[in-house]
A and B are shown apart, each in its own frame.
Chain A
Amino acid sequence: MTVKFLYFAWVREQTGISEEEIALPPEVKDVAGLIAWQRERGPEFAAVFGRDEIIRVAVDRKHALRDTTLDGAREIAFFPPVTGG
């Protein structure tokens, strides 16, 4: 089962990816675990996801917290704090 990952704003620019399909390893169970896993994907990912305090995550288009479960997730988005309005 793959999950769609989406990246926005400078998270998209710095990872160089806007969208990808990922087969999530079973040991990644929540948002905190996912951020730790993303940090291991290469230097760009380490730099972006090392800024743990500023990275926001949405799971299936809802704002998620660090302990939000990924069980059954279809779409996960990564982005900086929003600046609309």
Chain B
Amino acid sequence: MIRVQKEDFDIGGEVDALRKGRTDIGAIVSFTGTVRDGGADNPLSSMTLEHYAGMTEQELERIEKEARRRWPLAETLIIHRYGTLRPGDNIVLVITASAHRQAAFEAASFLMDYLKTNAPFWKKETGADGESWVEAKDGDDAALSRWEAED
């Protein structure tokens, strides 16, 4: 399941909802991405996430489907927020549930790597020096390439 929303999410509540009534799940992995302050040298007052409504949902569904093709997953959930967030706020939640831990760990990592390089979101930071768009990292492409070798 995927959700794109302005509202915050409750990690424990989402895990509970996902496993409710299920006895075939032996492993649940959750990843939460949060807004990080740049520290004393680069204080951040807020971060605004813009996205391409319509394409975002389509990309997240495609990524989720690909994860479920590669690993035996009982359940998956991706929630990504947009709008203006503050340091410490939640940005993204990925939950994977499987019979065994390896599939759940690997699929969660795969989903995040694919999401970071494919889902059409853009971050703009507002700090002491004004506003600036966050630049994409080469490391994100490198993280993605380890999964492509398995295609």
Give A residues with C-beta under 8 Å from B: 6, 8-10, 58, 61-63, 77, 79-85
Contacts and interface: CB of A to CB of B under 8 A. Distances in A.
A9 B82 CA distance: 13
Contacts of B80: 84-85
A79 B91 contact: no
B116 A6 contact: no
Contacts, number: 68
8 contacts: A62-B55, A77-B55, A79-B52, A80-B122, A82-B116, A84-B80, A84-B115, A85-B92
Interface stretch (B9-17, B69-77, B98-106, B128-136): B128-136
A8 B50 contact: yes
Interface in B67-118: 80, 91-92, 112, 115-118
B102 to A, nearest CB: 22
Contact of B134 (A8, A79, A83): A83
Given A9-B133, A77-B52, A85 B120 contact: no
Contact of B119 (A8, A61, A62, A84): A84
Nearest to A81: B136
Nearest to B60: A84
